[in-house]
Structure 1
Amino acid sequence: MYWYLWTGMLINRVGGFVALVLSLYLTSAQHLSLSVAGLVVGGYGIGGIGGVLLGGVLADRWGRRPTLLLAHFGAVVFLAGLAITDDLPVIAALAALLGLMHSMPGPAFVAAIVDVTPVDDRSRAFNLQFWAFNLGMAVASLAAGLLAEVSFPLLFAVDAAATLVTALLILWKVHETRPRRATTVRASGGLHTALTDPSFMLFVGLSLLLSIVTLQSSTILPLAITGDGLRPTVYGSVVAYAGLLIVLGQLFVPRLIGRWRKGTSLAVANVFLGLGFASVALADDVAGYVVAATIWTVGSMIAAPPNAAVIAELSPEALRARYQSVFYLVFPAASFIAPAAGGASLEHLGNWHWVLCGVLGLTAAAGHLLIQPARERRVAKQLEAERFAVPVAG
């Protein structure tokens, strides 16, 4: 079952390039102003926030499979609509709905992986998921550029076709994985359970720090590179190099960190991330940026498997998807904070901005070490409680 889920995610990610060129489509093909295009793309993002929360609730209530099918078939419909309409209000509405559908599968996919993967294999499973995500993103980025030069309707059609293939694969091969057991949490739990869970929210807060630092590479780093008098193509090359490093090296990460405690792994990852971005302060040529990218990419690679595994551990069995949806809110929050605060920081602090990023990374590392003992005790108690959960019919 896991490999069908993994294959579906890879196919969907390879074809999922509309979001990458949506702003380009709106300005070049629909001839919208930058401000109007920004509002439409912002609507896609708002839809994504709603999709994350809705996807978590539906995956726990309806099941993982129905949620995944609704999201993927819905995305096919809205992609087809974008391919054939030139009406601005319709485009804006379809973009928001597409954002909703694109974000819904995330919590359901991860919850399903947790459902079907033994505890001892989860770090490896999430490591493969992260690898597939980056491989698919690399292919999608290349394909998006090529297709955008040929035809935007063709781009929408190819994305819709890849989404449809994923939906049909889920329909054919993926069965419902939601556990059929009732717990005390199930009777009274919901999104508020996750939002008021101290152990979980502490971890989410540290993950937000990690995301804010990581997103410097896609928001503020281009400004630093061009500020050093380097061409924009240098930024593209650095990002491509980081992606290639993940594709080539990610599969070896489980062997490296297999015997480490998860909190220790995350602390080491955040140290690498912090040092990598701090070293940008010393970079003023291509070699310097490549060295910095190497350091922070190693941190990203180490962080991916234990980060996902810890979220799975902290999520009560009956609320797995809801917990995932709350965790997924980290990404839109970081997507706002990273450029907003980062731009002001770079403007007023100059290269000290990158030193501050290093401090944030080291702070997150210390936080993971501090909360690790209490979190492990909480996880042990939860596992013991779930062993004695009462089965229910159907």
Structure 2
Amino acid sequence: MSFHPVAWGVIIGTFLSRTGFFMTLPFLGIYLGKVKGIDPAIVGSILALSLLVGTISSFAGGALSDRLGRYPVMITAMGAWSIVLIGYVFATETWMFFVLSACNGLFRNVFEPTARALLADVTPDDQRASVFNARYFAINLGGAIGPLIGLQLGAGSTSLLPFVVTAIIFAVYAAVLVVFMVMFKEQLKKDMAADPVTMNQMARIVFTDKVFLYLLLGNLFVAGAYSHLDTTLSQYIGHDRTEAYSFLFVVNTISVLALQYPLAKFMKRYSSMTALKLGCLLFGLGLFGFGLFTNLFWLSVSMVVFTIGEILCFVVGDILIGEIAPQHLRGAYYGASGFAFLGQSVCAWIGGVLLQVLGFGQGPLIFAILMLLTFIALPFYQRGQYLWEQRQQQRKSCEKSSQVMI
């Protein structure tokens, strides 16, 4: 694959940084509870703060990259994130972990939309699907390898080595980004807007873009569907069949790695919005299967269906944002897309309430409700597709008119 050198740098850096991330952060709750002796409710609050701050700061991070440039924002965020990881080594008081958790969410969600915008910047339209597929593959490969390395280094125990190793990985990535910034300085100048847009103007443009808003509203419910993998499903199956849940998680990881590229080739025949609608449909059907079946084979089939929905929605969603957003506002658009993850918090809470009210014996009913919640995304995607096709037709008409005048 002949991607731009910067794209390869971001993809490889994504793999290394996600490996480091999954070496430490998934075990943070265990570390805080068992090693530091912090009350479970407070541990939950510490971890939730990271998600909340990250969601709120996502738009600001992406928008800043449109004004200041991708590299300065990415380098600062990754360098600061490295310092946060070192902070966990020296933290002793509960309030320190609250501060570190907030900073962790802040710098991660400033970095992520900026990196996605940079990928879109340096990649031609016809290669964008391939480059975002490669990025998603790198994320999942890091997610598969990271926890295994973390366990070997003693993550979740008294060992502080995972935090140190992850901090070093992040610092090296920041240094590599500095090198790229120097090497591709001229291209950076070309990509920067001649007249930078203010933050207020960015917010007004982004949040009045009806195509993007319908996409964002649909993504709220799709992100909520994905949240059930770690929350509702883990409680429903994991409460009496821990081994089965662990096996399903492995099926999810293997399915992502095995199916991502075949699906990418298949979906090139269809529009991005069509792929999103299909992904949403499969998300919901996979969820319903979790409640309908008890046999491990059919649960695994449901997980494969769920995972295909995950691949379609998340990869295609990133590609579509790159198509919708004006080049000088890509960071703001990718940042604003982070608001969809509010759906994760709300839907995870709904899943917990359904389990508590209806009971664990009502799996088919519970997951049927969750499936229907997921399907609420479909009319938003349908409306967004209609408006997006109208916009594309208008652009083609304008281009033809310009050619005739010339």
Q: What is the CA-CA distance between 1:183 and the residue it aligns to?
A: 7.4
Q: What is the CA-CA distance between 1:377 and the residue it aligns to?
A: 2.6
Please show how residues 164-179 of structure 1 align to structure 2 within 5 Å. 164-174=171-181, 175=184, 177=188, 179=191
2:217–2:380: 8 Å Cα contact kept in structure 1? no
Please show how residues 302-341 of structure 1 align to structure 2 within 5 Å. 302-331=312-341, 333-341=342-350
* Cα separation, 2, equivalents of 1:145 and 1:384: 58
* Cα separation, 2, equivalents of 1:168 and 1:155: 20
Deviations 1:167-216 (A, max 9, x none): 12211224464723447977972123212322211110011111111211
Does residue 388 of structure 2 align to residue 375 of structure 1? Answer: yes
Q: Sequence identity of aligned pairs in percent? A: 23
2:286–2:302: 8 Å Cα contact kept in structure 1? yes
Q: Structure 1 residues 288, 100: CA separation in 2 closer, same or farther (over 3 Å shift)?
A: same
Q: What is the CA-CA distance between 1:375 and the residue it aligns to?
A: 1.0
Q: Structure 1 residues 181, 295: CA separation in 2 closer, same or farther (over 3 Å shift)?
A: same
The residue aligned with 2:378 is: 365
- Choose from 4, 12, 15 the match for 1:7: 12
The residue type paired with residue 201 of structure 1 is L
* Cα separation, 2, equivalents of 1:113 and 1:38: 34
Moved more, 3-12 or 245-254: 245-254
The residue aligned with 2:123 is: 117
| Aligned Cα root-mean-square deviation (Å) | 2.5
Q: Structure 1 residues 111, 357: CA separation in 2 closer, same or farther (over 3 Å shift)?
A: same
Q: Structure 1 residues 301, 211: CA separation in 2 closer, same or farther (over 3 Å shift)?
A: same
The residue aligned with 1:256 is: 266
The residue type paired with residue 190 of structure 1 is M
Q: Structure 1 residues 286, 97: CA separation in 2 closer, same or farther (over 3 Å shift)?
A: same
Does residue 226 of structure 2 align to residue 214 of structure 1? Answer: yes
The residue aligned with 1:392 is: none
- Choose from 51, 70, 93 the match for 1:64: 70
1:43–1:96: 8 Å Cα contact kept in structure 2? yes
- Choose from 335, 340, 354 the match for 1:345: 354
- Choose from 190, 196, 210 the match for 2:202: 190
- Choose from 41, 47, 57 the match for 2:47: 41
The residue aligned with 2:235 is: 223
Moved more, 234-243 or 294-303: 294-303
* Cα separation, 2, equivalents of 1:30 and 1:65: 37
Does residue 251 of structure 2 align to residue 241 of structure 1? Answer: yes
Q: What is the CA-CA distance between 1:221 and the residue it aligns to?
A: 0.6
The residue type paired with residue 353 of structure 1 is I
1:25–1:152: 8 Å Cα contact kept in structure 2? no
* Cα separation, 1, equivalents of 2:100 and 2:376: 41
Q: What is the CA-CA distance between 1:149 and the residue it aligns to?
A: 5.5
Task: Specify the SS of the correspondent of 2:155.
Answer: helix
Please show how residues 39-188 of structure 1 align to structure 2 within 5 Å. 39-146=45-152, 147-148=154-155, 151-174=158-181, 175=184, 177=188, 179-182=191-194
Task: Specify the SS of the correspondent of 2:313.
Answer: helix
* Cα separation, 1, equivalents of 2:159 and 2:52: 23
1:126–1:304: 8 Å Cα contact kept in structure 2? no
2:281–2:309: 8 Å Cα contact kept in structure 1? yes
Q: What is the CA-CA distance between 1:244 and the residue it aligns to?
A: 1.0
1:268–1:365: 8 Å Cα contact kept in structure 2? no
5+ residue gaps, structure 1, are 387-394
Q: What is the CA-CA distance between 1:369 and the residue it aligns to?
A: 3.4
* Cα separation, 2, equivalents of 1:101 and 1:384: 42
Moved more, 254-263 or 361-370: 361-370
The residue aligned with 2:368 is: 355
Q: What is the CA-CA distance between 1:383 and the residue it aligns to?
A: 8.7
5+ residue gaps, structure 2, are 1-5, 400-406
The residue type paired with residue 167 of structure 2 is A
2:275–2:312: 8 Å Cα contact kept in structure 1? yes
Q: What is the CA-CA distance between 1:322 and the residue it aligns to?
A: 0.9
Deviations 1:294-347 (A, max 9, x none): 11111212223321111112212221111111101212x022112111122334
How high is the TM-score relative to the length of structure 2? 0.87
Does residue 214 of structure 2 align to residue 205 of structure 1? Answer: no
Moved more, 195-204 or 147-156: 147-156
Moved more, 372-381 or 5-14: 372-381
1:44–1:96: 8 Å Cα contact kept in structure 2? yes
Residues paired across the two proteins, number: 384
* Cα separation, 2, equivalents of 1:345 and 1:257: 35
Q: Structure 1 residues 384, 152: CA separation in 2 closer, same or farther (over 3 Å shift)?
A: farther
Q: What is the CA-CA distance between 1:163 and the residue it aligns to?
A: 0.7
- Choose from 286, 290, 298 the match for 1:288: 298
